[in-house]
Amino acid sequence: MAVNLWNWAVTKRVGLLINEEQKAKLCHVACKLACMCEGSVASEDAIRRQILMNMKTGKVWVNVGNALIADEFFQAAMASVEQLYVILMQRGSSEAHLTMQKIAVETDIFKVLSYQAQSAIAQGDFQRASTCVLRCKDMLMRLPQMTGYLHILCYNFGVETQKQNKYEESSFWLRQSYDIGKMDKNSVGPEMLAKVLRLLATIYLDWDDKKYYDKALSAINLAKKEHLNPAGLFLRMKILLKGETANEDFLEAVLEILYLEMSLDFCLKIAKLLIDHERESVGFYFLKIICEHFKSSESIGKALLLHIDLLLQKKEELLAKEKIEEIILGHQTGKQLTTVLVEWLHEILWEKAAKSFEVQNYADALHWYCYSLRLYSSGHTDLNLARLQRNMASCYLHLKQFDKAKVAVTEAEHCDPTNIFTQFYMFKIAILEENPDRALQAITTLKNLLTDEKPENNDLLTDRSSPTMLLSLAAQFALENGQQIVAEKALEYLAQHSEDPQQVLTYQILLFDAALQKFAQPFDEETSTLDSKTDEVQWFRKIAWNLAVQSDKDPVTMREFFILSYKLSQFCPSDQVILIAQKTCLLMAAAVDLEQGRKASTTSEQTRLLNRALEQIHKCNDIWNLLKQTGDFSNDPCETLLLLYEFEVKAKMNDPSLDSFLESVWELPHLESKTFETIASLAVETPAYYPSIAVKALKRALVLHKKQESIDVLKYSKCVHNLINLSLPNGTSSAELCPLQEVWGYFEDALSLISHTEGYPEIEILWLMTKSWNTGIFMYSRSKYVSAEKWCDLAFRFLDHLGALKRSCETQMNILHSKLMEALDKKKASLSNEEQELLEQADEQASSQQPEEDVLS
């Protein structure tokens, strides 16, 4: 059964049904079964079978990445080989037959050792792998047929360890591979030996090109002697470049390359390598020799163009221009370049022109473009020629040479009449010539081309080249050059054809900016009347206002339109209606900036927004002062809002003028309690923290609440809660904010209101009870026994006013109170009469500190 299972597992057809790991498991089972069945007294054939099965199974396990299991089978195989050797030695055989048997056994040992080496390499055990391979190497004198196998094995080890950057190990394996290969030149050819040496030289370079430079050079020179190969010559040049090789030695090396009749492409590759490594004198000299040597070749143009390209890279422009002139002249007089080389030359020239264009050297860019233009024959038309003419037109425009620009654009239109960029340049020329009629015609044509369902050859492949982007550029260009009418038409087309609502809003803002520029220009009374201008401004102002209102879900956009409406209103007569509109615009803009400032992710961004809000607030204050002179605005909350806005900005920016600003605020007679409560809230809103201002504001709010004929208990309870919470914050001494005796008064006032008014929130009564109880416990912990009893008694007075919550709190309160009173009695009993009097006096002047934690919950 074991043999049948083994035969089935190793059959090639089985590979279609199971994977390598499954195959390894089957071989594993079959091998173990065979060994178990045959026992320790197996026959010679059984032992040979076990050797084979153990070696094969181990090899399969190595292949699937489980070298540890593989080692078990290799050890078993080696034991079986030794067992077989003993049997063979005990048998009486002829010397010739015995020698053959020994060779067979040694071959098996050789294979097992090589497999163990592979397993060791897989486990990263270099020492064990090298030991196995060196034993194999010693056996090659008796097993010369295994030389090629061991040579390749060592080479593969070298490649594998190179991938792992184990340079020392890799160099060892490659040296072994070369040494073994030399032992039998019949089984290992010179090409393979040279390949090993080239890889060895590469290893030395990667390992340390300074330390192992001589070894790398020696290896590559030896490879050259073994077998001449272009890859070897190229690597040798790379090695020489790593050292301090004289130019004369490089010159000798490149002349040798020509002598060896290497290909043109290879020679050019060597020349480029030299120039890239700052050996320009030798590299360019070699290029010159190459051009002369291969002058009759059909591919000589490749060498000439590389020479030009490298000259331009090294800033040798004068010499490059001479070479270009020669090539163009030859191209026009019969020595034509191939299509591929012409395209390459265009790329070289366009790249150089683009670099000059980027640094605004438009004349130099034109010079290179003109070289490119000369490569085209008369009457030739294609899309690249159209692109070239447009590029030249752009340069002419920057140089203010409009006539030449028009000629170039006309040529571009001839080659590619439906191209949007051609029309765009025609538009720009009309704008620069201050010809609005032609500009409007061009922008209309451009719009029609952009909105065509099937645009041809317009290269609209990315967002940067989308129709809306190009129309946006047109509008911007018209605005920059004072052509407001044309700009408005471009923006109108933008709004019509954009599918992005946010983009439409952006374009509308641009349109209003155009209107602002128009109205800011000196007024010409001969061509328009003042009334018509005012009507136009009013129209734009109202539209901007409406757009702001419609943008309520986008505060930033809403602010932009309010600011635009305000700026446009400055061109209107300053009557009451306009002043009210201006006030509202600035108030809304300031509100948005404040809100954005609260959400700002960085301090610098918050500061920028708050400063901008303050600027709007000051402008709005000026307008408000003017507006108050035109009528009664006593019911308008503008002044209060401006006060709160300015306070928030100054508080969050830690403005040193905050105190002086508040002095005037405290004196204002008409402020409501809600305003003071808002000030209190803003005073402690991050990043501001002014608890003293908050307490002062809440005290004023509380006074106003008490003055009401009918006190709003909900508002009053909230105000008292906030005031007590600030005066008795958890874990913080607040004597400087509010003395404890004064805080006691707030509790008493609240208790009085609870006793005489219905509707006081029960949750607030519970909070007051808990706060007073915990204050009492805190006094007890500070040995303020009289004050402790006083505050705890106050808590019981609040307990009496609880409704549904009373039952759940009363039992706990009574238990705690009993324990507290018992403790107080014991403390008092231990004190003399004189000490009790001192204690009572001290309690009368109790500290205003408060509990650090709530004892009652």
**Sequence-distant (≥ 6) Cβ neighbours of residue 814 within 8 angstroms:** none
**Poorest-pLDDT segment among 91-100, 312-321, 458-467, 674-683:** 458-467
Handedness of CA 269, 271, 276, 277 (dihedral sign): positive
DSSP per-residue letters across 366-431: HHHHHHHHHTSPTT---HHHHHHHHHHHHHHHHTT-HHHHHHHHHHHHHH-TT-HHHHHHHHHHHH
Query: Contact at 8 Å (CB) between 208 and 168?
Result: no
Give 418: exposed, middle or buried? Use CB within 10 Å, 0-12, 13-18, 19+.
middle
- Which one-letter DSSP state was computed for residue 15? G
- Which one-letter DSSP state was computed for residue 572? S
**Sequence-distant (≥ 6) Cβ neighbours of residue 608 within 8 angstroms:** none
Cα torsion at 643, 648, 654, 657 (round to 10°)?
A: 0
Tokens representing 12? 């090639």
Tokens representing 218? 């020696």
The rounded percent of the chain whose pLDDT value lies above 90 is: 29
pLDDT over 60 at 685, yes or no: yes
Provide the pLDDT for residue 6: 66
pLDDT over 60 at 603, yes or no: yes
Provide the pLDDT for residue 522: 67
Supply the CATH number for residue 27's domain.
Answer: 1.25.40
SS3 call for 574? coil
Q: Which helix (H) or strand (E) holds 703?
A: helix 691-707
pTM (2 d.p.): 0.53
481 phi/psi in degrees, rounded to 5:
-110, 20
Provide the pLDDT for residue 161: 93
**Sequence-distant (≥ 6) Cβ neighbours of residue 241 within 8 angstroms:** 273, 274, 277, 279
Tokens representing 711? 């006190």
**Poorest-pLDDT segment among 132-136, 390-394, 773-777, 803-807:** 803-807
**Sequence-distant (≥ 6) Cβ neighbours of residue 58 within 8 angstroms:** 69, 70, 71, 72, 73, 74, 77, 115, 119
pLDDT in tens, 620-661: 999 999 999 998 888 899 999 999 999 999 999 999 999 899
**Poorest-pLDDT segment among 32-36, 50-54, 300-304:** 32-36
Higher pLDDT, 249 or 559: 559
Where in the sequence is the domain holding 116, given as residue range(s)? 1-139
Provide the pLDDT for residue 857: 36
pLDDT over 60 at 454, yes or no: no
**Poorest-pLDDT segment among 77-86, 442-451, 504-513, 782-791:** 504-513
Q: How far is CA 776 from CA 662, 787, 812, 849, 857, in A?
A: 36, 7, 15, 11, 14
* CA–CA gap between residue 376 and residue 332 (Å, rounded): 9
Q: How many domains does the chain have?
A: 1
* CA–CA gap between residue 681 and residue 417 (Å, rounded): 67
Amino acid at 805: L
User: How many residues are given for the chain?
Assistant: 857
Return the closest-CA partner of residue 616 out of 643, 634, 591: 591
* CA–CA gap between residue 233 and residue 831 (Å, rounded): 108
Provide the pLDDT for residue 816: 80
Per-residue pLDDT, averaged over 486-499, amounts to 76
Q: Which helix (H) or strand (E) holds 459?
A: none
Query: Contact at 8 Å (CB) between 187 and 147?
Result: yes
* CA–CA gap between residue 412 and residue 391 (Å, rounded): 10
Query: Contact at 8 Å (CB) between 348 and 369?
Result: no
Return the closest-CA partner of residue 509 out of 487, 483, 482: 487
Sole residue written with tokens 């002044």: 639
Tokens representing 413? 């239109």
**pLDDT band at residue 598 using 50, 70 and 90 as cut-offs:** very high
**pLDDT band at residue 583 using 50, 70 and 90 as cut-offs:** very high
Provide the pLDDT for residue 456: 45
Q: Which helix (H) or strand (E) holds 57?
A: helix 44-63
Provide the pLDDT for residue 444: 87
Residue 587 CB coordination number (10 Å): 21
Query: Contact at 8 Å (CB) between 181 and 226?
Result: no
95 in a domain, yes or no?
Answer: yes
Provide the pLDDT for residue 92: 58
**Poorest-pLDDT segment among 51-55, 124-128, 318-322, 642-646:** 51-55
pLDDT over 60 at 734, yes or no: no
Provide the pLDDT for residue 650: 93
* CA–CA gap between residue 411 and residue 589 (Å, rounded): 51
Q: How far is CA 763 from CA 66, 284, 368, 719, in A?
A: 71, 93, 85, 14
pLDDT in tens, 422-431: 888 888 888 8
Q: What are the contacts of 449-454 at 24+ separation with CB within 8 A?
A: 449/418, 449/420, 449/423, 450/420, 450/497, 451/497
* CA–CA gap between residue 196 and residue 220 (Å, rounded): 10
pLDDT over 50 at 463, yes or no: no
Instruction: Report cis status (omega within 30 of 0) of the bond before 656.
Output: no
What would the 3-class secondary structure string for 244-273 be? CCCHHHHHHHHHHHHHCCCCHHHHHHHHHH
Query: Contact at 8 Å (CB) between 73 and 30?
Result: no
**Poorest-pLDDT segment among 229-233, 435-439, 449-453:** 449-453
248 in a domain, yes or no?
Answer: no
**Sequence-distant (≥ 6) Cβ neighbours of residue 160 within 8 angstroms:** 121
Provide the pLDDT for residue 93: 63
Rg (CA), the chain: 48
Per-residue pLDDT, averaged over 88-95, amounts to 67
pLDDT in tens, 161-218: 999 999 999 999 999 999 999 888 788 888 999 999 999 999 988 888 888 888 988 9
**Poorest-pLDDT segment among 39-48, 81-90, 845-854:** 845-854
pLDDT over 60 at 844, yes or no: no
Tokens representing 672? 């409501």
Average model confidence (pLDDT) across the chain: 82
* CA–CA gap between residue 669 and residue 680 (Å, rounded): 18
128 in a domain, yes or no?
Answer: yes
Handedness of CA 430, 432, 436, 439 (dihedral sign): positive
Higher pLDDT, 134 or 469: 134
* CA–CA gap between residue 719 and residue 698 (Å, rounded): 7
Instruction: Report cis status (omega within 30 of 0) of the bond before 230.
Output: no
* CA–CA gap between residue 291 and residue 276 (Å, rounded): 19
DSSP per-residue letters across 270-335: HHHHHHHTT-HHHHHHHHHHHHHHTTTSTTHHHHHHHHHHHHHHTT-HHHHHHHHHHHHHHHHTT-
* CA–CA gap between residue 328 and residue 641 (Å, rounded): 76
Higher pLDDT, 235 or 531: 235
Per-residue pLDDT, averaged over 278-287, amounts to 82
* CA–CA gap between residue 145 and residue 724 (Å, rounded): 101
- Which one-letter DSSP state was computed for residue 143? -
121 in a domain, yes or no?
Answer: yes
62 in a domain, yes or no?
Answer: yes
- Which one-letter DSSP state was computed for residue 670? S
Provide the pLDDT for residue 134: 93
**Poorest-pLDDT segment among 14-23, 143-152, 219-228, 774-783:** 14-23
What would the 3-class secondary structure string for 462-497 be? CHHHCHHHHHHHHHHHHHHCCCHHHHHHHHHHHHHH
Query: Contact at 8 Å (CB) between 115 and 62?
Result: yes
Provide the pLDDT for residue 101: 77
53 in a domain, yes or no?
Answer: yes
494 in a domain, yes or no?
Answer: no
Per-residue pLDDT, averaged over 754-763, amounts to 90
559 in a domain, yes or no?
Answer: no
CA–centroid distance for 815 within its chain: 63
461 phi/psi in degrees, rounded to 5:
-110, -10
Query: Contact at 8 Å (CB) between 204 and 215?
Result: yes
